[in-house]
């Protein structure tokens, strides 16, 4: 029996690589439903190749241009794709906060989740993880560091035996840049990631280390770790993806060539491992693996994320929403690279989180508030210039 998939964000970097995995194993996987944004050309190629029965697009005006049995639009479409009755695994690979509701809907419908999107778990981890536990639904990480942690933790263990975990970071394109140089780096330079080819938002987040900050919060929710248990090290070769240290002083690491098709495939085929045409590691050829602590002065976003994660409630939403606005402003040339964490910090400092257990309404309210606040902050900075 083939595993039946629904893919949200099929036209993006993760979505396209998910379909590469499917194409490499047609005997194992069936594509039942796809949701895309507005890249109709790529979507149509995918429809013609994989023949899904349900499609969703972001904008009503694109609907007439899609040739497929059934085409829905917007949030209604995303929710329908996330809950198709015959689907086994829902791949969540849209960018940004639009993943929150579909992820929850898929969990409520009892689907196994293959989770690439990190914003949903950062903003609503408390709600998503509780719902998954309540429904007995497995959330399988696609993010490479979290897939690595998941693989390291596949050895039998008790939660108390985990002492620390380490997430590695490439350090991005500006790993060696001085603070002075960071002042004038351009969007084009930030988008030229040395290792990974990804969507523009996550690529800029990798350059500021906000991506690693979001991943700290993601690891906290996915593996039930405290933020103090999670370290980050800069590892330019991107071969070791994460490490787990146990209470006996032993450390288990996961190593692989940096290729997202591997964690994607593992999330789809678990507990089995399928053949993958990713380059094999040649340690002798690699020669050296470097590790060093992150520089929080040049990359303050990492610390902001840690603090927002520790504060909990709506603070991680505010962090993520303000960052999204600031990254867009940077990409449009409205603010400088070093302004991104400044905007995020200012918005976080103004936020007053509601008390009590987190609700979805609070997440959406905090999201709207943080976006408006970030835009206001950016506009006033432009006036001052
Ligand atoms: P991309 O920007 O490449 O792709 C985003 C996808 O989401 C596209 O298919 C886009 O559609 C779709 N999309 C965006 N907004 C909407 C919406 N409102 N409704 C429907 N579809 C929408 O991003 P990535 O693939 O790089 O990243 C996706 C997620 O995975 C992010 O959360 C990222 O942090 C995470 N991730 C990515 C990694 C990577 O290597 N790329 C690694 C680890 C995590 P369209 O293009 O058609 O408009
Ligand atoms: Mg990652």
Query: Closest ligand to 144 CA?
Result: 2
The alpha-carbon radius of gyration of the chain (Å, integer) is: 20
Q: How far apart are the C-alpha atoms of 108 and 134, rounded to whole Å? A: 9
Q: Which of 94, 83, 46 is nearest to 68 (CA)?
A: 46
In order, the DSSP letters of 141-163 are: E-SHHHHHHHHHTTS---GGGEE
Confidence of residue 195 (pLDDT cuts 50, 70, 90): confident
Take residue 161 and report the two structure tokens written for it: 């035996």
Contacts of 82 (CB under 8 A, 6+ apart): 6, 8, 35, 90, 92, 102, 103, 105, 106, 109, 111
Q: How far apart are CA 15 and CA 139, in angstroms?
A: 17
d(CA 227, CA 222): 12
In this predicted structure, the answer to whether residue 121 has a pLDDT above a threshold of 80 is yes
For ligand 1, whether the C-beta of 17 sits within 6 Å is no
Q: Quick one: average pLDDT of 359-375? A: 98
Helix 339-350 × helix 301-311 angle, to 10°: 20
Three-state SS at 189: helix
- Decide whether any atom of ligand 1 lies within 6 Å of the 38 Cβ: yes
Ligand 2 centroid, distance to 371 Cα (angstroms): 24
Rounded-to-integer distance, Cα 61 and Cα 102, Å: 22
Ligand 1 binding pocket mutation candidate from 14, 97, 265 (most atoms within 8 A of CB) = 14
Question: Between these two residues, 199 and 212, which has the higher pLDDT value?
Answer: 212
Asked whether the beta carbons of 138 and 113 are under 8 A apart, the reply is: yes
Give me the residues paired with residue 56 across strands: 35, 72
196 pLDDT higher than 90: no
Over the stretch 137-180, which tens digit does the pLDDT of each residue have? 999 999 999 999 999 999 889 999 999 999 999 999 999 999 99
Taking residues 107-115, report their average pLDDT.
Answer: 98
> What is residue 146's predicted lDDT score, i.e. its pLDDT?
98
Rounded Cα distance, 167 and 231, in Å = 6
pLDDT at res. 194: 81
pLDDT of res. 383: 52
- To the nearest whole percent, how much of the chain has pLDDT over 70? 99
83 preceded by a cis bond (ω within 30 of 0) = no
Q: So what's the pLDDT on residue 384?
A: 57
The whole-number pLDDT of residue 239 equals 97
Say what angle helices 315-331 and 210-223 make with each other, to 10 degrees. Answer: 150
Average pLDDT, the chain: 96
Say how far apart CA 224 and CA 332 lie, in whole Å.
37
Predicted local confidence at residue 156, as pLDDT: 87
In angstroms, the Cα distances linking 199 to 23, 60, 96, 190 are: 22, 23, 11, 12
Q: Confirm or reject: Cβ of 73 under 6 Å from ligand 1.
A: no
Give, in order, the Cα–Cα distances in Å from 81 to each of 92, 229, 315, 367.
Answer: 10, 36, 30, 24
What is the predicted pLDDT for the residue at 53? 97
Give the distance (Å) from ligand 1 centre to CA of residue 244. Answer: 28
Query: pLDDT tens across 257-308, in order?
Result: 999 999 999 999 999 999 999 999 999 999 999 999 999 999 999 999 999 9
Query: Token digits for 75?
Result: 């949030």
- From residue 130, alpha-carbon distances to 47, 267, 317 in Å are 35, 20, 17
Compute the distance from residue 36 Cα to the ligand 1 centre, in Å: 9
Tell me the longest C-alpha to C-alpha distance in the chain: 63
DSSP symbols for 53-67: SEEEES-GGGGGG--
Is the CB–ligand 1 distance for residue 199 below 6 Å? yes
Contact 153, 146 (CB under 8 A): no
Q: Assess contact for 232 and 167: CB atoms under 8 A.
A: yes
CB-proximal residues (5 Å) to ion ligand 2: 143-145
Read off the pLDDT band of 197 (50, 70, 90): confident
> HSE-up of 274 (CA within 13 Å, CB side)?
21
283-305: string of b/e by CB count within 10 Å (b at 16+)? eeeeeeeeeeebeeebbbbbbbb
Q: Which pLDDT belongs to residue 155?
A: 84
């Amino acid at each position: 029996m083939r595993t039946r998939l629904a893919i949200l964000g099929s036209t993006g970097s993760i979505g396209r690589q998910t379909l590469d995995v499917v194409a490499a194993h047609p005997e194992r996987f069936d594509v039942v439903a796809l949701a895309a944004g507005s890249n109709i050309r790529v979507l149509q190629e995918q429809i013609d190749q994989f023949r899904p029965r349900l499609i969703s697009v972001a904008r009503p005006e694109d609907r007439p241009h899609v040739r497929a049995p059934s085409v829905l639009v917007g949030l209604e479409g995303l929710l329908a794709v996330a809950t198709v009755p015959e689907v086994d695994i829902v791949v969540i690979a849209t960018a940004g906060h639009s993943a929150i509701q579909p992820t929850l809907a898929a969990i409520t419908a009892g689907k196994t989740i293959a989770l690439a999107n990190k914003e949903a778990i950062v903003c609503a981890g408390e709600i998503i993880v509780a719902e998954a536990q309540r429904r007995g639904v497995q959330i399988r990480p696609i993010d490479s560091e979290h897939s690595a942690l998941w693989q390291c933790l596949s050895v039998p263990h008790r939660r108390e035996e985990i002492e620390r975990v380490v997430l590695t970071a490439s350090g991005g394109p500006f790993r060696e840049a001085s603070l002075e140089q960071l002042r004038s780096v351009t969007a084009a330079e930030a988008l030229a990631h040395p290792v990974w080819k990804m969507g523009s938002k996550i690529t800029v987040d990798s350059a500021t280390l906000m991506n690693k900050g979001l991943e700290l919060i993601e690891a906290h929710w996915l593996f039930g770790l405290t933020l103090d248990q999670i370290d980050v090290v800069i590892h330019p070769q991107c071969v070791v993806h994460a490490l787990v240290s146990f209470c006996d002083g032993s450390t288990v690491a996961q190593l692989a060539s940096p290729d997202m098709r591997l964690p994607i495939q593992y999330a789809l085929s678990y507990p089995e491992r399928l053949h993958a045409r990713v380059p094999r590691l040649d340690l002798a050829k690699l020669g050296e693996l470097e590790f060093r602590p992150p520089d929080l002065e040049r990359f303050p976003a990492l610390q902001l994320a840690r603090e927002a994660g520790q504060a909990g409630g709506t603070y991680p939403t505010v962090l993520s929403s303000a960052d999204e606005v600031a990254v867009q402003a940077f990409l449009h040339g409205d603010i400088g690279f070093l302004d991104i964490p400044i905007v995020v910090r200012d918005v976080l400092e103004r936020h007053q989180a509601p008390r009590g257990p987190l609700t979805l309404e609070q997440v959406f309210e905090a999201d709207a508030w943080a976006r408006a606040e970030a835009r206001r902050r950016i506009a006033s900075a432009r006036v001052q210039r």
